A and B are shown apart, each in its own frame.
Chain A
Amino acid sequence: MCYLIGVLVIFTYLIAVFNNKMSELSLAIITQCGEAVTLSISLCGSICLWSGLMNIAEKSGIVNRLSTIFSPLMRFLFPNVDRYSKAMGYITLNFISNLLGLGNASTPLGIKAMEELKTIDNATDSASDNMIMLTVLNTAALQLFPATIITLRANQGSNTPADIIPAVWVVSIITLTLTVLAVKLFSKISEKKVKR
């Protein structure tokens, strides 16, 4: 993150020097920070609304019901993790929190799952195949309802802010499938290397 900020600031300054854009740059530095506050306030209402609704969903047992539905998928993704183990429980809950867009809940659950997997797989310094699978599932954003994006679209004057949802689902599912296949392939390759 520090490198990203450094690179951005240094390059911005250099471009401003070469293209004679110092006045635009001064103005941008002064005004952009205020834009950030406007953006977060405009998102605040929608974030609160969906956090509230998702809390109802979680506490009324929708999450538990979903874990039964996803159990076959989870067994395919993590074939050597016992389906009744604590690790599998955390993995499933982490997946479902992501699906429902419960960002606050998913990271702690994911980290708990990582700790369990570390013990099960006896991993010390390098990641086990299961740990990689879990992390990669979290980097592929399979989300049923991308609330933030829809709110921003509505704010920017979209007539049909939710119409991107089917496209988002299709792209997410294809991406997730390919990533999972990549992980399975990589783990096969590394297995062969170890045997040699």
Chain B
Amino acid sequence: MTFTDYFIPTIFLLIIVFGLIKRVDIFDLFIEGAKEGISTSLDILPSLICLMTCIGIFKSVGGFGILSSFVQPVTDFFSFPSECTPLIFIRPMSGSGALSVYNGIISDYGADSFIGKVASVMMGSTETTFYTVAVYFGAVRIKNSRYAIPAALMGDLTGWIISVAAVRMMF
């Protein structure tokens, strides 16, 4: 048992206790929130079907291997595991796509393997950059996003590189 085992139960406990102290109806609020959760899962299903099919077929013909070997000189330089390369390409573009690639990686190589852990940290510490920029600027009709994409991508790039280092050092 490690201290990370405490995370989930402690968050659970804190939220429930805080709700009780504040005298809110925790059951009703839970139900209300969980209902939203169902629509979230349903909302992602159509895009998940589309992208998971596209990514699955690309993977079935060995597309990921070809893609990874293209950028292998660069990824090797950062001692980045080439098994995680597909995630670099899909993560900034599509959340459902990244979810499906990530699930594939941890089922192929094991969630507790080095590769699986790097993929997990990459997933947890980056976002769908292009999509977010498109939604935020699109909503307020801004056409010129100036340096938003370069700055955000620089962050992603740092995230990819230090994910590997973090997994090496912390496990």
Contacts and interface: CB of A to CB of B under 8 A. Distances in A.
Contacts of A139: 127-129, 132-133, 152, 155-156
Interface string A10-49: 0110011001010011011101110111011101100111
B148 A160 contact: no
Which of B30, B32, B48, B120 has the most C-beta atoms of chain A within 10 angstroms of its own C-beta?
B120
Size class of the A contact interface (CB-based, 8 Å): 35 or more
Contact of B106 (A40, A126, A153, A166): A153
Interface stretch (A59-67, A72-80, A81-89): A59-67
A25 B61 contact: yes
B88 interface: no
Contacts of B12: 53
B53 to A, nearest CB: 4
Interface string B115-154: 0110011011111110111011101101111111011101
Contact of B155 (A1, A16, A52, A182): A182
A135 B132 contact: yes
A9 B144 contact: no
A126 B146 CA distance: 7
A61 B41 CA distance: 26
Contacts of B135: 107, 111
Contacts of B116: 153, 156, 158
Chain B contact residues: helix, strand, loop or mixed: helix
A152 B33 contact: no
A44 B38 contact: yes
A57 B4 contact: no
A136 B145 CA distance: 11
B55 interface: yes
Interface in B67-113: 93-94, 97, 99-100, 102-103, 106-107, 110-112
Nearest to A118: B140
19 contacts: A12-B58, A24-B60, A32-B60, A36-B45, A37-B49, A39-B52, A52-B30, A55-B33, A60-B19, A114-B140, A125-B142, A126-B145, A127-B144, A156-B116, A171-B124, A172-B159, A178-B158, A179-B158, A187-B147
The 9 closest A-B pairs by CB, nearest first: A55-B33, A32-B56, A48-B37, A179-B155, A51-B37, A126-B144, A28-B60, A168-B124, A158-B111
